[in-house]
A and B are shown apart, each in its own frame.
Chain A
Amino acid sequence: MSGRVLAAIAALFLVLGLVAAGTAAAQPAGGDAPSVTIQATPGAGVSTASRDIATGSGAGMAILFWALALGTVGGAAFVLTRRNLIAAVMGMVGTFLALAGLYMMLYASFLAVIQMLVYAGAIMVLFVFVIMVLNRPEDEPWGMVGLPGKALAGLAMLYLLVRLVMLVWSVNVPDTALVAPAAVAFPGDAAHTVYEFGSTAAVGTSLFSDYLFPFEAISILLLIAVVGAIAVARPLNDADELPGAQPPAPTGGH
């Protein structure tokens, strides 16, 4: 039991180690290759106005991508193979963190930070609480049993696989896919401040101008989530606890 938890933590460390190694490998190597000048913009976090960086970091970026891809798939495989649910959640956190790294490679640094804060932080907490609430020794994973069930599951997986392959086949990657998208300018701004695409400031610029109504609608959505949370945990007929459930574990007994 604890061995599996240790294995989960070790896997998490491995993923993070790969991320760190990839980050280090992403350092542009010095050399006398032709260089490009890049104008640093506010929000990019680069202090110097412009820098020359050498080419030759493509291999490092490829290593970074494959390390993160391995971390994502490895974490998912870890989740699938664990019988200990807490260990599975740890594998899921590894997947989330590797995904955050992939988002960062897609110029979505704000999304990457949110991925870490909300998914690796809050959603993980939610999963752990679900496991704690539903924790019963007799709970066995529900599965398709018998030949018809297995045939149905197999067909469903085959359908999913075919659709995925069709999707990958149909996507036509343009040559400019690896070039950073255009920076975002703030509307009505006299100074024409531009922000690096995907940065927090650029996301905010879109959110608070073009997508103002969806932004305000999010607050309604969050309100609905609060009402749902209250409704799902309301007492049934003044009986505070479900019959058979243990009372809340005493806390602070140290």
Chain B
Amino acid sequence: MLYTRLALQLQAFTPAGLAIALALGFCGLFTLLAVAVGPKSVNPEKLKPFECGSEPIGSPRGRYSVKFYQVAILFLVFDIEAAFMYPWALLFTKLSTTPAAGPGLPTGVGIFGFVEMLLFVIVLVVALTYVWRKKAIGWE
């Protein structure tokens, strides 16, 4: 009884769950089939790393430049920025509507939502400019 409302809410995500189940089912099925049914012939040559026919140069376990990490952090920052735009976009009509002056009168158009996001984005444009000036995006 207590769970019924939650069940209804989760029911809305049934298509997503079904898609995940189907995708995983097919991937798992064919992986298992390949392991179980596929012919196996193991020799040292086949177990070597394959890089387009060339001989591998050096170890793949070497350290990478810290710039990759920098790019990852910058991606994370702008990813979170985009995540905040998602509810804003959903509510934009509501945020741009001013209450009616009286009953029966039409509602007006406001710039509240626009200014809200503008302030948010301006600060992040400052961040982007900083990144640009420091030449952190772009590679040598």
Q: Which residue numbers of A lie inside 8 Å of B, CB to CB?
A: 13, 16-17, 19-21, 23-24, 26-28, 36, 38, 40, 44-46, 51, 53-55, 57-58, 60-61, 64, 104-105, 107, 109-110, 114, 117-118, 121-123, 125-126, 129-130, 132-137, 178-180, 186, 188-190, 193, 196, 200-201, 203-205, 207-208, 212, 215-216, 218-220, 222-223, 225-230, 232-233, 241-242, 245-249, 253-254
Contact = CB atoms under 8 A, between A and B. Distances in A.
Contacts of B116: 208, 212, 215-216
B87 A200 contact: yes
10 contacts: A26-B7, A40-B8, A44-B8, A58-B2, A132-B69, A223-B130, A226-B74, A229-B77, A233-B69, A246-B62
Given A218-B84, A246-B62, A129 B8 contact: no
Contacts of B74: 226, 229
Interface string B58-92: 11011111111110111111011101101110110
Interface in B1-49: 1-14, 17-18, 20-21, 24, 27-28
B58 to A, nearest CB: 8
Interface residues on B, range: 35 or more
B100 interface: yes
Contact of A193 (B1, B61, B86, B94): B94
Nearest to B73: A229
A55 B131 CA distance: 55
Contacts of B73: 126, 225-226, 228-229, 232
B95 to A, nearest CB: 6
B63 A178 contact: no
B66 A133 contact: yes
Contact of B5 (A17, A179, A188, A225): A179
Given A53-B4, A229-B73, A104 B63 contact: no
Contacts of A230: 70, 130-131, 134, 136
A129 B113 contact: no
Contacts of A178: 2-3, 6
Majority DSSP secondary structure for residues of B touching A: helix
Contacts of A207: 84, 87
Contacts of B24: 13, 16-17, 20
A180 B65 contact: no
Nearest to A121: B79
Contact of A132 (B10, B64, B88): B64
A135 B123 CA distance: 35
A50 to B, nearest CB: 10
Contacts of B121: 219
A188 B97 CA distance: 10
